[in-house]
Chain A
Amino acid sequence: GAGVSQSPSNKVTEKGKDVELRCDPISGHTALYWYRQSLGQGLEFLIYFQGNSAPDKSGLPSDRFSAERTGGSVSTLTIQRTQQEDSAVYLCASSSQPINEQYFGPGTRLTVT
């Protein structure tokens, strides 16, 4: 079946612009995670969604970052007023339940110039 998909695969934006990154989880997976992979910080957790519960936003690095998940499926990560330190690969993962294996998408490479 289809895996986790993310779009766009690459995004180049100017400093100060807003960007939206999209994640389509595996159908039926209720848990969805966003992570960030950067040279300086390695792989770090950003935010977690589970069903209709309130998301765990504890990993978001600043209030410029937000995410939503509509209808328990597609998720959008929004970064406002992008900064150069936001340059990274943003990874999305989903699992059928939090305790189960997380399947990762191919990532979106964000470059802020």
Chain B
Amino acid sequence: GDSVTQMEGPVTLSEEAFLTINCTYTATGYPSLFWYVQYPGEGLQLLLKATKADDKGSNKGFEATYRKETTSFHLEKGSVQVSDSAVYFCALSGGATNKLIFGTGTLLAVQP
């Protein structure tokens, strides 16, 4: 079945460092790809999405490009802030229901 694999955390960075969180997927058909973020004590929020190959999703300085040839959707940010500390989930959806299939989540801790 469809699945998502993302790098395990925690990832600890200093403020203004470059961030990459790797995500690869296995899916039949052409899924949509997502990054969700869960800030401490808050609910899941959509961070960005891409619906077809070569699309780039971006939001709040974060970017991810839908790479069909490598089945990847890596999350990047050029300069992280303490406020970016959260758990990040890569996910895909597809089929008639568009149910989300999530990766295991990556905890990001940014230190001042």
Contacts and interface: CB of A to CB of B under 8 A. Distances in A.
A42 B101 CA distance: 10
Interface residues of B, number: 18
A42 B43 contact: no
By CB atoms of chain B within 10 A, which of A42, A59, A91 has the most? A42
Interface of A: 31, 33, 35, 42-45, 48, 50, 56, 59, 91, 93, 95, 98-99, 101-107
Interface stretch (B17-25, B62-70, B73-81, B92-100): B92-100
Contact of A42 (B45, B96, B99, B104): B104
A48 B49 contact: no
B99 A48 contact: yes
Contact of A48 (B44, B89, B97, B101): B97
Given A48-B99, A98-B97, A43 B43 contact: no
A55 to B, nearest CB: 9
B102 interface: yes
